[in-house]
Amino acid sequence: MKNAYIVFQSREDAVFGFYSLVTHSQVTRLSNDVFCVPWGSLALLDERQVQYRFANEDDLTNAHPIWIVTESKPRHD
């Protein structure tokens, strides 16, 4: 799976974009407000008009995972 490293353009975009990714895809947050998302999930953000840019080398320098969220699946106990 190919991943994209992105930075949201505003706090509002980060909140809405993160929520969209958590509920419909998966997302890993790195330090420096960089997010690692599956390449295919960019279409979801574009659909919802969430503004982001691709992370550059400066953004990724010393970036490390803070937490990982994958799409939750209903439990059948």
* Nearest to 62, CA basis, from 38, 28, 31: 31
Would you place residue 63 in the very low, low, confident or very high pLDDT band (cuts 50, 70, 90)?
A: confident
Each residue's pLDDT tens digit, 33-46 = 899 999 999 999 99
What ranges do the domains of the chain cover? Answer: 3-69
Q: Report whether pLDDT(5) > 60.
A: yes
Distance CA 15, CA 1 (A): 24
- Interacting residues of 28 by C-beta distance below 8 A, sequence separation 6+: 35, 36, 37, 65, 67, 68, 69
With tokens 């997010």, the residue in question is 35
User: What does the mean pLDDT of the chain come to?
Assistant: 85
- Interacting residues of 59 by C-beta distance below 8 A, sequence separation 6+: 5, 7, 32, 34
